[in-house]
Amino acid sequence: MFSSVAHLARANPFNAPHLQLVHDGLAGPRSSPAGPPGPPRRSRNLAAAAVEEQYSCDYGSGRFFILCGLGGIISCGTTHTALVPLDLVKCRMQVDPQKYKGIFNGFSVTLKEDGVRGLAKGWAPTFIGYSMQGLCKFGFYEVFKVLYSNMLGEENAYLWRTSLYLAASASAEFFADIALAPMEAAKVRIQTQPGYANTLRDAAPKMYKEEGLKAFYKGVAPLWMRQIPYTMMKFACFERTVEALYKFVVPKPRSECSKPEQLVVTFVAGYIAGVFCAIVSHPADSVVSVLNKEKGSSASQVLQRLGFKGVWKGLFARIIMIGTLTALQWFIYDSVKVYFRLPRPPPPEMPESLKKKLGLTQ
């Protein structure tokens, strides 16, 4: 599979299209003006491109996808685990809003009842579950982005790039949630049911004894409801925000930016995307939290009982958590790509053939 994907990826419009346009002399306003012939000289863009092309693997190769998956494990596993205390309070606010009346009150009540150690409840299923989710989310996103872009063709992939980001991220998240569901169910039980279990070793056998495999996967449908819109927003908003930042905010082309400067842009774009992610996915997140706590309830029953106002409980805490989380995840993921010298194509630019059709080049 990876060999065929690698073959298709070589013609991928996301495979450094700006650098290809520069090579063809069609880079637009950033091209140097025509003048009398002189000794051959490489521009700063081409010099930067030459450095960037010293990659450890080809874009779209098997090694590329594997290392992207590793980046997803590191970025998602570590960030979600670091934010376990905030996630715990947020979950308790959703399932028992009468007791946990706000984010600060929630921390106060939790510390009073469980002590400092209580804030770390559920760290093991969080780390395992979100590491597996990160592997599928980021690794499969890169796979589906290459596959779908080649199905569309170079011109359509550029014109419909937002739809391409949405489709690739939704496809990746479908599989990522299947990997996440068992650990998410265990985490919610540990965090929201006092006395049920304190560790994953206690919770998992108990859940299986009570409800069988259903206990681990009954929340997968509402998890899709929560995570697929979240991930679609996370990737599409991030990709288009990066594109806008380099176009309207950053005063020089991406190829002339240093790696630290590029990572700053990644962090800012990630935080902006994270705020939108939190808002889009919060109602389904509330349903998942209540559903995993209760036995015998369905998603529709929980949604009806919570009502419109109830599904938005804990939104402020989620915006803080998801905004920070998404920014850090993109920063770590991009840093892993830099560390392993993986191809990091710049934001896509209009293909030469489309420019000619629109009369933008002669």
For residues 226 and 266, is the Cβ–Cβ distance under 8 A? no
Mean pLDDT of 343-347: 88
Residue boundaries of the structural domains of the chain: 62-343
Class of domain 62-343: mainly alpha
Task: Say what the pLDDT of residue 347 is.
Answer: 85
Q: Phi and psi for 340 in degrees, rounded to 5?
A: -90, 5
Instruction: Please give the span between the terminal C-alpha atoms of the chain, in angstroms, as a whole number.
Output: 40
Among 221, 245, 324, which residue's Cα sits nearest to residue 277?
A: 324
pLDDT of 105 > 80? The answer is yes
Contact 170, 32 (CB under 8 A): no
CB 60 within 8 A of CB 5: yes
Q: Could you read off the pLDDT of 116-145 as tens digits, one per residue?
A: 888 888 899 999 999 999 999 999 999 999
- pLDDT > 70 fraction of the chain, expressed in percent and rounded: 84
pLDDT tens digits, 77-92: 999 999 888 888 878 8
Q: In this structure, are residues 64 and 58 in contact, taking their beta carbons and an 8 Å threshold?
A: yes
The pLDDT confidence band at residue 249, using thresholds 50, 70 and 90, is very high
Label residue 349 by pLDDT band (50, 70, 90): confident
Non-local CB neighbours of 12 within 8 Å, separated by 6+ positions? 59, 60, 146, 149, 150, 157
